[in-house]
Structure 1
Amino acid sequence: MRRTPHLSALLALTACTLTACSWGGGQDAKDVQPPTAPRGLTVQAGSATTAHVMWNQATDDTGVTGYDVYRGATRVERVPGSKHMVDVVGLKPATDYTFTVRARDAEGNVGPAGKKLTVTTPAAAAADHEPPSRPGSPRGAVEGSRAVRLSWNASKDAKGVASYEIYQGTSKIHSVDGGERETLVTGLRPGTAYRFTVKALDAADNASPASRVVRLTTAPGRDDGRATAPADFRAKTRKADGAYYIDLAWTPPRTGGAVAEYQIHLDGKNATSLVFGGTAPRDKARHSFYVGKEPGDTHRVKLRAKLPDGTWGGWSAERQVTTG
C-alpha cells in the first residue's frame, strides 16, 4: 500500500519521539566523536613483576574522562582522565610485555590506541627480602621555568637495582632504569616550589628508604625550553648520486636516559620523525636526509627530542643551508 505524504511525516515524527532524537543537532544530540589517541607513551620495568606506564594527555571535544591501559589485547588498568601514569603489577619475570593506552569520554566513546611499546621485565631474584640502600647525595638544578634536573649516587643491593622511582612530594611521577643516576623532570609550573625524593627498587619489589629531600623552585615567567634542547646543532649539505642531502650533527640533551626519538623541522614544517633503533647515541648523534636535486635551494632546519617522560623538549638552534 502506498503511503501518503501526511502518513510518512507522521511516522517519521513518531519514530523521532520514541528515540528521543533532536532536530538539527540541538543540545540533546549525542556525542559520537571519540577522543584522540594518547601520545608520548613511555614504559619502564620497575621490577621483575611491575611496569611503569606513562603517556601524554589525549584531547576530546567534550573532555577525556578516563584512560584504558592494555597489555597486548587485554585491558589491565582503567584510570581517571586526571591521571597520565599507572603501575601495572602481577607481571612475570624475564618476560616481554607490550602496552598501549586508549582514551574515553563521558559518553563512553573510546578513542584509537596510541603507540605500542614493549618492555622486558628483569629476572626474579630468588628469596630476596633485603631492600636496596638509600640513594645517596641527591641533588638538583633548575632548568628554566618548567623543568628540573635531578641526580643521585647509586644504591647498593645484593641482587642489583632494577629501577629508581622519582617522587614529587608523596606522589610518584617518574621511573628510570637502575643503571641511571640522573633524570630530567618536565611539565612543571613556573615560579613554583617543589620537593623531590628518590627510591631504589630491586627485582623483587623491595623498595629502599627515600633519599634526602631535594627542594627546588622553578624560574618565573615563560620558558623557551633551552635546557631540554639538543646542543651543538650543526647542518650542512652534500651531493651524492646526483641528489642533495642535509647532514645533521648534535649533542643529545641530558635527560637521565638515552633519547631515541627526534622531530625534524624543515622550512617551517615538521618534515619527519627520526627514531634510533638499537642503542640510541648519548654523546654525539648524526642523521642525513634527502632534500632534492636542484642546486641553490636554501633550507632552514632544526630539531627537538622526545624526553623520557613522553613530552617534547625545546627546539635546537635553527640552521640555514644552501644546496650546492
Structure 2
Amino acid sequence: MKRDIPFPEIPREEYDLRLRKIQKKMKETGVDALLLFAKEDLTYFTGFRKTWYFPGLHGAIVPQTGSPILILPQICHVLAMHMSWVEDENILPWGGAEHWHLPQEPTEIYINKLKELGLEKGVIGTEEGGPAYIYMDASFSEFEKIKEGLSKATFTNGTDLIWSSRSIKTDWEIGVMREVCKITVNGIREAVKKINIGMTERELLYILEKSFMDQGAYDTPMHGEMMFRGGARHYSMSTGRPSDKKLEAGRQLYFDGGASLKGYRVDMQRMVWLGEQSELEKRLFYVAEEGQKAA
C-alpha cells in the first residue's frame, strides 16, 4: 500500500472510503469489475486527474476486491504515480517509442488484465449514460475490441451503480464544494462592484477570473466557466461567451457558471441591472422572487 505520494489529488482516507463504498455496492449487485473511461470517474475512484488535454485511451478497471488498475498513455505514467493512490505496479502505461517495448494497443491491456483477474466470464459494469450523464471517453471501436476479446463476459450498464456511489458526497467533498461556492460568490461581488458602463464583457470577465485566482481557485486545466447574457440579442444565448461588446446602461447582465477547485466546478446564476430598473423589470423580479420562495 502506498504510504506517501508527492502530489495527492485526494487524501488517502478519501480514496480508501470511495473504494470500499463502490466495492461493497459491486458485491451487493453482482458486478465483478467496473470498466471506467469517463475522466470524472477516473478522478473519483483512482485520484488521477488529467492536467492537460491528451488524446488516447485513459481508463481504469475497478475489481470487486483489491486495488484498481490504471491504464494510461505513457506520457501520463509518472504523473499518475505521483498523483494517484493506486499502487505503482497497477499503473500500466501504453504507447511511446518502440524501444520502450510498451504495448501499443491499449485495448489488449484491458482484455489481458480482466482475464488475469479471472473475469473472462465475469460481469463487467460500464458507463453507458443515463440520467447522470456518465459517458465513457472511449471510441466505439475501442469498446467493441474489448468486448470481442472478452466474448464470454457479460457487459452491463453500471451507471446507476457508479452514480449511487458518487452522488452521496463525503465530508471532504462537501468542504471543497462549500469553498468553491464561496469563491464564486466573492468573485461575482467583486466584479459587480467594479462594473463600469463602457467596459467590455471580456474586461469584466478578467476581473471575475482574477478574483477567483486570488482566492486560490486556479488549476490546470482551468475548468471554471463563466458566461454572460444580456441585451436583446445576447440574452437568448443560453451559453453565450463574454465578448468585446461594451456594457450599456439599462442592460440586464446575467452571470452563469463559476470557479473550479480540485476538479469540482460551480454552476451559479446571478443577475444584475446596469442602472435603474424599469417598473416592468421590478415587477417581473418581484414575481420571480415570490415564486421561488413559494416553491
Taking structure 1 as the reference length, what is the TM-score of the superposition? 0.28
Whose strand proportion is higher, 1 or 2?
1
Asked which structure has the greater CA Rg, the reply is 1
Taking structure 2 as the reference length, what is the TM-score of the superposition? 0.30
Whose helix proportion is higher, 1 or 2?
2
